[in-house]
């Protein structure tokens, strides 16, 4: 240790408790934290290999798929995105990407870096892409991949998929789905919807700490990887090798993040114990209560009702309110985190997450009460009783 190094100033870790209602991460259940603290096993220990298999089985159930190649990639959701692209794309491939927010734009960037001939299909921020726009963009093209964000975290839009998937399939494309902010919160059915490849993240609606990226490839996607003319450009994310570690051979590739996989296994157990349909209904209920409260206060939502995402809600910042002042006050006075707007929405909206363990009546009521207090402190007129309006939604739901 250097002679002048003062180790005494580094105290025991004791993070403050927050209520996480931003775009992610979400609150983590105590069961998941306890699982993370279990003794670390070797990544080729027979007991851990059994836990790996169980994690895959649980992931398939949540993705609603029978895909053999269903694994958690070591890395955050962005690593899942990159794993999909580096394995599926070769230089010169035509790749169609729906762009309606930050994360669609990220996919364009990623595909472009791999030498793809990218076909951007753009929609207005805060809106879903329409089938007519997809059809027009694909005319005369032969995309090998059609990539779309299911739940756009930057805009709070839930993209309708049925028609645009049919169009992509008609042009012979494999469909790649970003379901980072939807998996475990709203319906995701890989097999029934005809999704060929998909990726997600652990820190959103699965309510597991960030660090793993669930991923699933069907047989058609795996065949495309196997038929590559060139090596996968990323050694670490090469699914021909990573898949052998997660497959029957259990062939060593890298040291798996053992305790994170414990955590994911426990988080998936919690999801399936609740039941997928029950869980989806819970997220939509709290979304409806939040919207009712916001509108009763005289505020408004950014996204049209038919395109809103239950798990990430965009609230338009009212006149007279300061974005940063409001978010800082919510954090300092109430321990409540919400997210700022991104891109053209910066300074214009707040992003309010209702994801997994954070999607509760308690949190909705806390947010509406806290926001009312903070806005009034800035001299902003709040016209109605947001918490009462939300409570009315819960009361009616309880009687249904």
Architecture of domain 30-273: 3-Layer(aba) Sandwich (3.40)
* Pairwise CA distance, residues 364 & 272, whole Å: 23
Tokens read off for 81: 């995105």
Architecture of domain 275-399: Alpha-Beta Complex (3.90)
Q: What's the Cα-to-Cα distance from 32 to each of 24, 29, 233, 381, rounded to whole Å?
A: 16, 5, 34, 41
**What's residue 260's pLDDT?**
98
Q: Where in the chain is the domain with CATH 3.40.640.10?
A: 30-273
Torsion of CA 363, 367, 373, 374, to 10 degrees: 130
Pairing of strands 312-316, 174-178: unpaired
For residue 399, what pLDDT is reported?
55
pLDDT of 1: 58
Tens of pLDDT along the chain (400 residues)?
577 889 989 999 999 999 999 999 999 999 999 999 999 999 999 999 999 999 999 999 999 999 999 999 999 999 999 999 999 999 999 999 999 999 999 999 999 999 999 999 999 999 999 999 999 999 999 999 999 999 999 999 999 999 999 999 999 999 999 999 999 999 999 999 999 999 999 999 999 999 999 999 999 999 999 999 999 999 999 999 999 999 988 999 999 999 999 999 999 999 999 999 999 999 999 999 999 999 999 999 999 999 999 999 999 999 999 999 999 999 999 999 999 999 999 999 999 999 999 999 999 999 999 999 999 999 999 999 999 999 999 999 975 4
Predicted local distance difference test score (pLDDT) of residue 400: 41
d(CA 392, CA 7): 54
Distances (CA, A) of 293 to 201, 296, 316: 29, 5, 13
Residues of the chain with CATH 3.90.1150.10: 275-399
What was the pLDDT predicted at 249?
87
Burial class (CB in 10 A: 0-12, 13-18, 19+), 236: middle
pLDDT of residue 390: 98
């Amino acid at each position: 240790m250097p002679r002048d190094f003062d180790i005494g100033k580094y105290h025991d870790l004791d993070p403050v408790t927050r209520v996480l209602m931003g775009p992610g991460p979400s609150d983590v259940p105590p069961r998941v934290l306890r699982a993370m603290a279990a003794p670390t096993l070797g990544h080729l220990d027979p007991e851990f290999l059994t836990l790996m298999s169980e994690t895959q089985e649980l992931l398939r159930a949540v993705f609603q798929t029978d895909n053999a190649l269903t694994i958690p990639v070591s890395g955050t959701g962005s690593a899942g995105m990159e794993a999909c692209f580096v394995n599926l794309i070769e230089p010169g491939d035509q790749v169609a990407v729906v762009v309606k927010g930050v994360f669609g734009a990220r996919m364009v960037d990623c595909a472009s870096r791999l030498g793809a001939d990218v076909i951007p299909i753009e929609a207005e921020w805060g809106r879903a892409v329409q089938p007519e726009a997809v059809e027009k963009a694909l005319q005369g093209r032969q995309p090998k991949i059609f990539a779309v964000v299911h739940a756009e975290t930057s805009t709070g839009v839930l993209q309708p998929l049925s028609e645009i998937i049919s169009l992509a399939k008609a042009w012979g494309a494999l469909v790649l789905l970003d379901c980072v902010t939807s998996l475990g919160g709203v319906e995701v059915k890989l097999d029934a919807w005809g999704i060929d490849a998909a990726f997600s993240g652990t820190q959103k609606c699965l309510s597991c700490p960030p660090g793993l990226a669930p991923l699933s490839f069907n047989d058609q996607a795996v065949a495309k990887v196997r038929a590559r003319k060139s090596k996968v450009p990323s050694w670490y994310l090469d699914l021909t090798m990573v898949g052998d570690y997660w497959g029957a051979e259990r062939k060593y590739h890298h040291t798996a993040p053992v305790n994170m996989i414990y955590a994911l296994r426990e988080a998936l157990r919690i999801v399936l114990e609740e039941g997928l349909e029950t869980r989806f209904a819970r997220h939509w209920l709290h979304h409806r209560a939040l919207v009712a409260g916001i509108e009763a206060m005289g505020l408004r939502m950014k996204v049209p009702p038919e395109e809103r995402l239950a798990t990430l809600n965009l609230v338009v910042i009212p006149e007279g309110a300061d974005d940063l002042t409001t978010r800082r006050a919510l954090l300092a006075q109430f321990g409540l985190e919400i997210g700022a707007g991104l891109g053209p929405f910066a300074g214009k909206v707040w992003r309010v997450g209702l994801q997994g363990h954070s999607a509760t009546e308690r949190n909705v009521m806390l947010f509406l009460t806290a926001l009312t207090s903070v806005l009034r402190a800035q001299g902003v007129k709040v016209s109605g009783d947001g918490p009462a309006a939300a409570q009315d939604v819960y009361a009616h739901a309880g009687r249904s």
